[in-house]
Amino acid sequence: MQESPKAAGEATGAPEEPEVHAFEATDLDHAQAALGDTYFPHRLDQLSTGSVMDMSLHTVQLGPLTVGRLTYGGVEVSLDLGELGNAYNIAIPLAGRHDTDSAGQRHIFTPGQACIYLPHRPTRITRWSAGGIQYGIKFDRDYLEAELQGILGRPTRAPVTFDPVLDLADPQVSSWLSLVRTLVADLDKHHSMLYSPLISRPLVEALTSGLLLAANHDHRELLDTRVPAARPRTVKSALDAMHAHPEESWTVRALADLSGVSVRTLQDGFARYVGASPMAYLRGIRLERAHEELVVADPRYSAVSDVAYHWGFRHLGRFSVEYRRRYGQSPSVTLTKA
DSSP string, 250-295: --HHHHHHHHTS-HHHHHHHHHHHTSS-HHHHHHHHHHHHHHHHHH
User: With b meaning 16 or more CB within 10 Å and e meaning fewer, what string describes 131-151?
Assistant: ebbbbbbbbbbbbbbbbbbeb
What one-letter code names the amino acid at 85?
A: G
Q: State the pLDDT at residue 182.
A: 84
Contact criterion met (CB below 8 Å) for 109 and 91: yes
| pLDDT the model gives residue 5 | 33
Collapsing DSSP to helix, strand or coil, 95 comes out as: strand
Which pLDDT score, from 0 to 100, does residue 230 have?
A: 53
- Tell whether omega for the bond before 159 is within 30 degrees of 0, i.e. cis: yes
Give the whole-angstrom CA distance, residue 34 versus residue 29. Answer: 9
CA distances from 143 to 75, 86, 181 (A): 35, 10, 21
Beta partners for 166? 114
pLDDT confidence of residue 229? 52
Q: CB of 100 within 8 A of CB of 125?
A: yes
CATH top-level class of 2-223? mainly beta
Model pLDDT, residue 338:
59
Distance (Å) of CA 107 to CA 71, 166, 223, 241 = 20, 12, 27, 51
Amino acid at 294: L
- CA separation for the pair 11, 62 (Å, rounded): 6
State the virtual CA torsion across 162, 168, 173, 179 in degrees, nearest 10: 110
Residue 300 CB burial class (10 angstroms; 0-12, 13-18, ≥19): exposed
Strand order in the sheet with 55-62: 2-3, 19-25, 55-62, 65-71, 133-140, 87-95, 113-117, 165-167
Residue 17's pLDDT is 63
> What's the pTM value of the predicted model, to 2 decimals?
0.64
For residue 335, the surrounding DSSP H or E stretch is helix 331-336
**Each residue's pLDDT tens digit, 222-249:** 877 654 455 688 888 999 999 999 999 8
133 forms bridges with which residues in the sheet? 71, 95
Give residue 231's pLDDT: 66
Instruction: Please provide the CATH number assigned to the domain covering 233-336.
Output: 1.10.10.60
Query: What's the pLDDT at 23?
Result: 94
Instruction: State the span(s) of the chain assigned CATH 1.10.10.60.
Output: 233-336
Per-residue pLDDT tens listing for the chain (338 residues): 333 333 333 333 444 567 788 999 999 999 999 999 999 999 999 999 888 899 999 998 888 999 999 999 999 999 999 998 889 999 999 999 999 998 788 999 999 899 999 999 999 999 999 999 999 999 999 999 988 887 776 777 778 999 999 998 888 898 899 888 888 887 777 777 777 777 788 888 889 989 998 999 998 888 776 544 556 888 889 999 999 999 998 999 899 999 998 888 888 888 888 877 889 889 889 998 999 899 888 888 889 999 999 999 988 888 998 888 888 889 999 888 75
Length of the chain equals 338
- Cα Rg of the chain, angstroms: 22
